[in-house]
Amino acid sequence: MRSIFMKLLKFIGHIIIVIILTTITQVGGLIWLLAIIISYKIKKGKRIVFPLLYLLFNLVIIPPIASYLGREKLPTFKENLKPHNWFYPLAFRNYVNPDLKSELEKSAQALSASNINITYLDANFPFINGFPLLPHLSHSDGKKIDISLMYLDQDGNSTNKKPSVSGYGVYANSSNNYTSETCIKKGYWQYDFTKYLTLGTINNLKLDDKNTKLLIEQILSIQTTEKIFIEPHLKQSLGLRHQSKIRFTGCQAVRHDDHIHYQIK
């Protein structure tokens, strides 16, 4: 009886791992199941098989399959277009459609003359339109990506560093955010939920108004840009009040004064 109970617990444990990995990475659950099969066949522990298999899928197997099906992996090592940290490429969250990748690369090249690097956060998973990339509401078709704001260090110099480990949750000029209190009072608890997702504050930085505006204006100049989301107070303070493609998501989504949500048509 004890043996059956332990096997049941082990089975439930595997199911939980598959659900967690699928939620975070889309394909990690499948890789875990393959690792179980392979480790059983070759008599090696999953602690060895899974990491090696995961890296093989991440670097070699998934990118060409995703490309064939219409999504491209964003660069990891490019200086002017790169992830905020290793989590985003390792978790398969750095895929976009070919048009968006092309526009990001062109924008990064254009901004390099101003010493501005595009730092991306969550984009999309490799496969399947409509597959949710949690906690986002709309990153499911390859056409959306989150981009970091630009910042100044304590000496007032422009820097490509970011204030938090995750890249989310540290709000710029939050004392000027006249929508925050209103949304929270209306019961939209998720509006500033990202403050719990920083994973730690690593740099004491201030918003770089000049370079953030240059970054946004470059994105807005792209013909296929459909809209970007930032908070109304940033739109006003950056002098972008007359740009119709700049939108406020409303209280039902998370606030956007810690990152820029960019999407194409």
Domain 74-264 has CATH 3.30.530.20: no
- Decide: pTM greater than 0.85: yes
The tens digit of pLDDT for each residue in 127-177 reads 999 999 998 889 999 999 999 999 999 888 899 899 999 999 999 876 666
Q: Is the peptide bond before 135 cis (omega within 30 degrees of 0)?
A: yes
Give the model's pLDDT for residue 6. 74
Give the model's pLDDT for residue 184. 80
Give the model's pLDDT for residue 174. 66
Give the model's pLDDT for residue 143. 96
Q: Which of the two residues, 214 and 180, has the higher pLDDT score?
A: 214
In this structure, of 47-56, 101-110, 207-216, 247-256, the range with the lowest mean pLDDT score is 247-256
Q: Does residue 183 surpass a pLDDT of 90?
A: no
Tell me the pLDDT of the chain averaged across its residues. Answer: 91
Q: Is the dihedral of CA 29, 190, 219, 176 positive or negative?
A: negative
The tens digit of pLDDT for each residue in 59-87 reads 999 999 999 999 999 999 888 999 999 99
Domain ranges of the chain: 2-68, 74-264
3-class secondary structure per residue, the chain? CHHHHHHHHHHHHHHHHHHHHHHHHCCHHHHHHHHHHHHHHHCCCHHHHHHHHHHHHHHHHHHHHHHHCCCEECCCCCCCEEECCCHHHHCCCCEECHHHHHHHHHHHHHHHHHCCCEEECCCECCCCCCCCCCCCCCCCCCCEEEECCCEECCCCCEECCCCECCCCCCCCCHHHCCCHHHHHHCCCHHHHHHHHCCCCECCCCEECHHHHHHHHHHHHCCCCEEEEECCHHHHHHCCCCCCCCEECCCCCCCCCCCCEEEEEC
Q: Does residue 4 surpass a pLDDT of 80?
A: no
